[in-house]
Structures are given as C-alpha cells and as structure tokens.
C-alpha cells in the first residue's frame, strides 16, 4: 500500500488511542479529587498529569496557577494546546479524511460522527458537572472506532498499520500513566510491598480498566509492586507493556520489508525483555528509571517505523 496511506492510518489510530488515554487520566484524577480535596494535593496531582502528557511547560507558559478546572480545560479543549483531546480527535479525523477511500464507510462515518459530536460537546461547555460523561463518551467512541475497524476492515496491510499505531501509542501511554503514579505516590521508591493508599492505587487500576483484572489475577491486597507487575509484565492484560509490545512486534514481522530488518530486531528485543523480565529487576533499578528507558526505546521504534514504512524515500 502507499506509504502515505499507511502513515495516515497509523496516526489515525495513534490519535484515537491518545484521546482515549487522556480521557482515562482525567477521569481518574477527577474521581480522586472528590475523595481528597486538599488544595496542595490537588495541585500536585494536576501538575503531575500535565507533566505526564508532556504539557506542563506549555501550560505554565500560558497560565499562572494550576487548578483543576484550568487543567481540565487545558487538556480537553484548549486551543493553544496541540495535544488536547479535541486536537487529538481533530487529527484522528483529519488522517481518516485523507484516506477515507481506504477505510470502510462505517469506519469513516464513526470517526466523522465522533468529530461532529465533539463540536456539540464543546458547545455545551464541558465543565464541572458533566466532565465524567464527557470522558466516558471519549472512551466509548474510541472503543467503537476500534470495534468498527476490526469488525469491518479487510485484514490486510491497512489494518496492520492501524493496529501498529494503536498498540505503540497504548504502550507509551500506559508507561506514562504508571510513571505519573509512581512519581506522585512513591517519590522515594520505598516499600513497594506496603499496603498503601488503597484509593489512589485502585484509581490507577481503574483508569486503565485493570481493577477487576487485578482482583482476578492476584486475589490479594493492592500493592504498588503488583500494580507495576500487572501493567508491565502481564501477558494477557490488554493494556500492559508486554501485551502491547508483543502486538507491535508481531505486526512488524508481518509487514516487514527490505529495509525494516533493524526495526524488527529492536522491537523483538523490547518484547523479549518484557517476556523474560521480572518485577524485582525493575524495582532494583527503580520503576521510574525503568519506564523512562522503556519510553525512549518505544519512541526510537516510532521513528524507525516512520523511516522504514511511512516516509519511504525514492529507492529504485
């Protein structure tokens, strides 16, 4: 298929997934603020979230103080923020628009309808009372898009590059969400086995749809060690780093071309490290350091994918 088409599909999927994960992060924060309303903690919480999504500097350049309302506004609809949920959905739709002929009409109509409804959501001013509904809506539109894509599109290269975008983005986002929690709650990386703040950690689990999964897998108290283990190493957990990188690697094997050998090798390396790695080693080096290294490797993989498949130079 055309490199440009693959590029649009890949970014369509990445932006859809990113919008979903932003909504998940905001949702969990809002819920937590209802439980603990101390101003200081609330500010730290939102500062950490803005840092997680790479927006803290831009935010502080535009705003004097960090408040919940302002942070939500910034991440959802702020025009000056190129990484807002609105802009993600705009771009998902723009990318879909550019390849609408490659998509099934159901897929295009789903993304287009999301975009049209988004503008309506924006008009009714998503603030305070109905933010929860809005985050839920973003999440479900993403579920719907994924379902329609998998349920209607031909299982060919177009779908491969779409899934590649979804899983690479999700691996990145899960790592960031986990990192933010460890920064906020365990700055000194002490006592990973202690039964700590139940609500904070269960909220994290809920934000990645892993609360019930945790119960099922561990049938035990919630500890940071197990949370990290679940989200990093659990093979069957659809948002874990291992699961996502496994899917990325499989896809890269299937779409391999003459120049992508090194990229496949590197994705295999990342995957093997997750397949055979253990949580103790992660705790030894520190969860945050481990995740930082993981994020830099997935970002390298993203750049390599762009180079090998998406922007292929003229080579005859």
Partner 1 sequence: MVKEAIFDEMHTAAGDVRAHYQAYAEWLVETPPESIVEKRNEADTLFRRAGITFAVYGDETGTERLIPFDIVPRIIPSPEWELLQQGLRQRVTALNAFLHDVYHDQEILRAARIPAEQVLCNVQYRPEMQGIDLPMDVYAHIAGIDLVRAGQGEYYVLEDNLRVPSGVSYMLEDRKAMMRLFPELFARYSVSPVEHYPDLLLETLRSVAPSGVRDPVVVLLTPGAHNSAYFEHAFLAQQMGIELVEGQDLFVDDEIVYMRTTQGPRRVDIIYRRVDDDFLDPLAFRPDSMLGVPGLLTAYRAGRVVISNAIGTGIADDKSTYPYVPEMVRFYLGEEPILQNVPTWILRREEDLEHVLANLSDLVVKEVHGAGGYGMLIGPLATQAEIEAFRLRILADPARYIAQPTLALSACPTFVEAGLAPRHVDLRPFVLSGRDVTMVPGGLTRVALREGSLVVNSSQGGGTKDTWVLERALC
Cβ proximity to partner 1: between 2 and 285 the closer is: 2
123 in contact with partner 1 (CB under 8 A): no
90 in contact with partner 1 (CB under 8 A): no
3 in contact with partner 1 (CB under 8 A): yes
257 in contact with partner 1 (CB under 8 A): yes
Go through 134-157 and write b for each residue having 16 or more CB atoms within 10 A of its CB, e for each that does not: bbebbbebbeebbebbeeebeeeb
- Residue owning tokens 């990645």: 208
Q: CB-side exposure of 268: number of CA atoms within 13 Å? A: 10
Please, what is the minimum distance in Å from the beta carbon of residue 105 to partner 1? 7
180 in contact with partner 1 (CB under 8 A): no
What are the CA-CA distances from residue 85 to residues 76, 114, 293 (Å)?
Answer: 5, 12, 26
113 in contact with partner 1 (CB under 8 A): yes
Token reading at 25: 């992060």
- Residue owning tokens 């590197």: 266
116 in contact with partner 1 (CB under 8 A): yes
Contact 184, 45 (CB under 8 A): yes
101 in contact with partner 1 (CB under 8 A): yes
Q: Which stretch binds partner 1 (CB under 8 A): 20-28, 67-75, 93-101, 227-235?
A: 93-101
What are the CA-CA distances from residue 119 to residues 72, 132, 142 (Å)?
Answer: 17, 17, 16
258 in contact with partner 1 (CB under 8 A): yes
Q: Which stretch binds partner 1 (CB under 8 A): 66-74, 91-99, 129-137, 226-234?
A: 91-99
316 in contact with partner 1 (CB under 8 A): yes
Q: Could you say which residues in the range 218-247 bind partner 1, by CB under 8 A? A: none
Binds partner 1 by CB under 8 A, chosen from 98, 144, 185, 273: 98
Q: Which stretch binds partner 1 (CB under 8 A): 22-30, 90-98, 120-128, 216-224?
A: 90-98
248 in contact with partner 1 (CB under 8 A): no
Token reading at 113: 């309808």
Q: Compute the distance between CA of residue 152 and CA of residue 82 in angstroms, rounded to an integer.
A: 31
Q: How many CB atoms lie within 10 A of CB 79?
A: 8
109 in contact with partner 1 (CB under 8 A): yes
Residues near partner 1 (CB under 8 A), total:
31
Go through 194-209 and write b for each residue having 16 or more CB atoms within 10 A of its CB, e for each that does not: eebeeebbbbbbbbbe
Please, what is the minimum distance in Å from the beta carbon of residue 2 to partner 1? 5
Binds partner 1 by CB under 8 A, chosen from 157, 183, 197, 269: 157
Q: Which residues contact 39 (CB under 8 A, 6 or more apart)?
A: none
**Residue ranges that bind partner 1, judged by CB under 8 A:** 1-6, 94, 97-102, 105, 108-109, 112-113, 116, 157, 161, 255, 257-258, 309-310, 312-316
């Amino acid at each position: 298929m055309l490199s440009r088409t693959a590029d649009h599909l890949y970014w369509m999927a990445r932006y859809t997934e990113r919008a979903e994960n932003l909504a998940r992060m905001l949702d969990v924060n809002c819920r937590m603020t209802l439980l603990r309303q101390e101003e200081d903690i609330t500010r730290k919480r939102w500062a950490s979230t803005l840092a997680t999504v790479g927006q803290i500097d831009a935010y502080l350049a535009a705003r004097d103080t960090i408040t919940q309302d302002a942070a939500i506004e910034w991440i959802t609809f702020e025009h000056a923020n190129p990484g807002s949920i609105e802009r993600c959905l705009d771009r998902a739709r723009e990318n879909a628009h550019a390849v609408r002929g490659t998509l099934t009409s159901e897929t295009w109509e789903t993304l287009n309808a999301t975009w049209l409804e988004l503008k309506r959501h924006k008009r009714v001013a998503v603030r305070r009372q109905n933010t929860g509904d809005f985050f839920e809506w973003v999440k479900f539109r993403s579920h719907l898009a994924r379902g329609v894509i998998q349920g209607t599109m031909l299982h060919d290269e177009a779908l491969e590059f779409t899934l590649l975008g979804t899983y690479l983005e999700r691996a990145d986002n899960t790592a960031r969400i986990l990192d933010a929690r460890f920064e906020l709650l365990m700055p000194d990386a002490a006592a990973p086995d202690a039964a700590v703040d139940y609500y904070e950690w269960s909220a994290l689990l809920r934000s990645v749809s892993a609360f019930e999964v945790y119960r099922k897998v561990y049938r035990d108290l919630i500890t940071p060690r197990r949370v990290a283990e679940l989200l990093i190493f659990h093979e069957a957990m659809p948002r874990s780093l291992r699961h996502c990188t496994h899917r990325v690697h499989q896809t890269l094997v299937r779409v391999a071309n003459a120049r992508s050998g090194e990229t496949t090798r590197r994705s295999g390396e990342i995957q093997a490290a997750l397949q055979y790695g253990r949580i103790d080693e992660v705790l030894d080096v520190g969860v945050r350091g481990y995740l930082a290294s993981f994020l830099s490797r997935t970002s390298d993989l993203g750049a390599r994918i762009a180079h090998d498949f998406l922007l292929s130079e003229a080579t005859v």
